[in-house]
A and B are shown apart, each in its own frame.
Chain A
């Protein structure tokens, strides 16, 4: 099926400059709008069995015995696997190998994985699960992190005293001196409820073993490479025997950025059953797999001079991490480390505790680690601005970084479009006309946020590039990109096609992409921490430059000149010298020359972050450093109904510094999606717990916003042209999320005069705060 070509820029005859910065539709979008594109659950192989997982009904219990014999005997059941057969521990972080495919000895949350079955139908599989008899000894459980930290007995993991997964105590500069210098100090406690990704596609994995013992796994993953490695480790296979293929992925947001139990369970069941097995989570299971944003308590103290200049910041952060490490060590570090690199803060102290509780593991979610700390910081800054009578935009201007610089904790900042973001939203929103001046019940708020463009230090400590992109050009001039980068809806494939076409001066329709198939594509670490555009983009450019060199060399031989005299643009190789302008070759014929007697012309490019971006040397220094940071400033306007406490967000304006918008269509979509997810966390979304029991494990009760609560989100692209970014680009998919929350909270304050320091801002919290305010005011008369 074809698209009306008039609607899509292609630039076959254009130049690089016309492709970089063009609004390019996603290369896979026709597949998506026609239903032709295949996601994992859309795939079936002959003989595929349905896999199902038995989950723990207890939050914390010892497994005394498992009797699966009745399940094994049930007609239609081909395999049952329990923890006895899956002893290998794994985890996304080298310091956090605390999971096994199925529980060995203990279960640690309601929903923990106890056993798996593979059967001929879903109903037989479900029946088999009911036949597995597990005897548990129920143990005391921990649900509140502040209480869990006091634990002495019945630890969740024996090697984690006081149920603390990890704690960090950082001190940069001298906060005592900083606070002594301050004219005004504020101390506030903020609480943020747990939220989850809720990608619309439930996780799904299809696994198939070949007779030679090698396995192919199709999975809805953001990290095919890590999945391949973990499959090899847990199944005790060598890595070349494991192939991971990522079909289309229906949204990730971090929820598929580590190995999720079903991915390993499907493989282990397929091996035992001797036939392909597919597991697709129910929506409820997706909630138990979780790995979302932890509940976080932030005790934040900020000191400022009378003019608003920050002298010191001290944060104590406790994260309710759930029962396993997951990305937790990184989450808690980001929460402290990225208090920096936004403003110029000379003295920073951070005490962070990642605490284990008997709930599903929290992990990485869009804006990983930064969102709740940023909410607290920006809200407190707005409170301070109010007390000091300084405009919130102005107090931010007075605390700007002066890049190029290195922050007190060792983060290198080169490009910094934040000042321009602030100016743009202040101007577009009519801030000066509105702030503090709207009628009662209407309000406007402002805040900022930032995020990494990939982590400068990889999770896997190995001497290898963070990403490699290969290119082959065949005799007809068709270009194929081979990349490990995982398209999850964010536009990774499109970005690479676009930069390669731009670099080679050819049309988009001359470029194909083969992505995220570990047997066919080079290593990329995955789609997380907003690393793909920066890293795979740079690698793709490097590969394209290498290919271009070969093309120009072939053309130079043919035209009897040197490559330096040639230009490649609009699918033609021409001489730079105007006198020889009419001497030219087409890209296709040159490709044939360059390929020569080979099968195809091949080129490769890699990316590793420079040493100067890799941060300091102290414990925990590895998390936070990035080759570049994106910046965002936002205004939110709200209407508050003082009688019901209901908050309606009327309009959000987000200015995002993405370095360079290689594809503004995609950048806008990413910024809007981030802002919208921030809105959800601000006013609507919450995982509701009763002890270890999740009360809302479904989309009916989790309440991701519909069109009706979703305001227009206006985006302003700010381009700071990062010196190391591909065409100057930085990240666009996460950095805007955090600012939305404090902007909304301030807008509510502007509307009705109350600060809400606990998320989500439910109508009830607003109402209680208003009642409290009224009582205080009555008392003071």
Chain B
């Protein structure tokens, strides 16, 4: 499985990278850790003429937290750095948990935040060798016209499988981008589109430079639940990120729940009914139900859509119960199931 031919350019500054990106236009593709792109290139999914290596952009490798300014992470920060960051573990536990579940230690040492946010959507009919896809007759996402997951439709259901995105969605993060037109910020939920082919709302000449989480959302308790068959290496088959802020009486003040790996984009689940309430298993169940209305898994991954939906429900229920009760389930007389 040889890689197609290409040139590699390695700009040393963000400024230079933006220039190069604009210069090569449609011929260029960005690479950082390579954990997503390189295997896909071996499979013939991409064949850019030029690869723009972002790794030399040390200026985008940082984690900054300031109680006033909030959290700022550079796009070139590696997943292992995020997983190992003390301030993130303390102030943004949902992101810490999500980061440490990603793939394997080797892949976390290579993959970056920017790469994880911009992860290509995945599908069993798409992430296959050229031989395999050719034998099938290709699919709507690449070189073909049919979706094998939902034949007859004209929609691509490939799933977004990033783990940091749901955590950051739950944290209300914004994405920072740079282009020849200057920097801009967009709320993370607007960065994604629910379309397996064009799932990122980013212009071709834009570079993701980092994310920002508002200071107001620091210190929220959070959990990340992830469905997988193998406890390492695998992409998630479903993921639920949830954060909550409570008052001393245990009344929910803020809550956000997000899903990954069940739609072409990470999605927020409407959990507003919990606000201002004390723990209520019925309300949790309603949010869990809302989650399975939001998550629309199809046969894009191992395991069945039915099972993945069911697990979303279980994970949302468990996540909210954990956050709300702080493990005080027993003293409140709440049974485990």
Contact = CB atoms under 8 A, between A and B. Distances in A.
A299 B336 CA distance: 39
Given A703-B234, A767-B307, A696 B131 contact: no
Contacts of B134: 57
Given A764-B303, A764-B304, A767-B307, A642 B234 contact: no
Interface stretch (B51-59, B152-160, B165-173, B224-232): B224-232
B181 to A, nearest CB: 38
A707 B230 CA distance: 10
A695 B311 CA distance: 23
B136 interface: yes
A450 interface: no
A261 to B, nearest CB: 15
B135 A693 contact: yes
Contacts of B304: 764
A684 B229 contact: yes
A701 to B, nearest CB: 6
Interface string B92-133: 000000000000100000000000000000001000110110
B314 A644 contact: yes
A688 B299 CA distance: 13
A700 interface: yes
A763 interface: yes
Contact of A706 (B1, B5, B231, B302): B231
A697 interface: yes
Interface string B291-311: 000000000001110110011
Given A693-B136, A763-B307, A282 B231 contact: no
A706 B311 contact: no
Given A644-B314, A763-B307, A684 B230 contact: yes
Interface string A274-285: 000000001010
Q: B132, B136, B233: which has the most chain A beta carbons within 10 Å?
A: B132
Given A55-B131, A764-B304, A644 B311 contact: yes
B232 A708 contact: yes
A14 to B, nearest CB: 43
A778 interface: no
B301 to A, nearest CB: 9
A58 B135 contact: yes
Given A643-B314, A700-B234, A767-B310, A706 B135 contact: no
A695 B148 CA distance: 12
Interface in A110-157: 110, 121-123, 126
Contacts of B326: none
Contacts of A701: 124, 302
Nearest to A700: B233
Interface string B18-52: 00000000000000000000000000000000000
Contacts of B303: 762, 764
Interface in A691-711: 693, 695-697, 700-701, 703, 705-709
Interface in A621-658: 642-644
Contacts of A762: 229, 303
A284 B230 contact: no
Nearest to A122: B2
Interface residues of A, number: 31
Contacts of A767: 307, 310
Contacts of A763: 307
A284 B39 CA distance: 13
Given A643-B337, A767-B310, A709 B231 contact: yes
A706 B232 contact: yes
A57 B130 CA distance: 11
A703 B302 CA distance: 10
A696 B302 contact: yes
B102 to A, nearest CB: 14
B230 A703 contact: yes
A765 B253 CA distance: 39
A695 B104 contact: no
A128 to B, nearest CB: 12
Interface in A566-588: none
A371 B296 CA distance: 38
B307 A764 contact: yes
Given A282-B1, A644-B314, A701-B302, A110 B135 contact: yes
B132 A703 contact: no
Given A284-B129, A684-B230, A693-B135, A642 B104 contact: no
Given A703-B230, A706-B230, A706-B231, A284 B132 contact: yes
Nearest to A694: B132
Nearest to A765: B307
A706 B234 CA distance: 10
Nearest to B131: A55
B337 A642 contact: yes
Contact of B232 (A282, A696, A707): A707
A764 B305 CA distance: 11
Interface in B318-337: 318, 336-337
A324 to B, nearest CB: 19
Contacts of A284: 129, 131-132
Given A57-B131, A688-B302, A695 B230 contact: no
Contact of A709 (B1, B104, B230, B337): B230
Contacts of B229: 684, 703, 762
A763 B128 CA distance: 25
A762 B311 CA distance: 13
A772 to B, nearest CB: 14
A57 B128 CA distance: 14
B245 to A, nearest CB: 27
10 contacts: A123-B2, A126-B2, A284-B132, A684-B230, A693-B135, A696-B124, A696-B302, A700-B234, A703-B234, A706-B231
List the 9 closest A-B pairs by CB distance, nearest first. A57-B135, A708-B231, A706-B232, A123-B2, A764-B307, A122-B2, A703-B230, A708-B232, A709-B231
Given A644-B311, A703-B302, A762-B229, 14 more contacts: A57-B131, A123-B2, A123-B5, A284-B131, A643-B314, A684-B229, A693-B136, A696-B302, A700-B233, A700-B234, A706-B230, A706-B232, A764-B303, A767-B310
Interface of B: 1-2, 5, 104, 124, 128-129, 131-132, 134-136, 229-234, 302-304, 306-307, 310-311, 314, 318, 336-337
Interface of A: 55, 57-58, 110, 121-123, 126, 282, 284, 642-644, 684, 688, 693, 695-697, 700-701, 703, 705-709, 762-764, 767
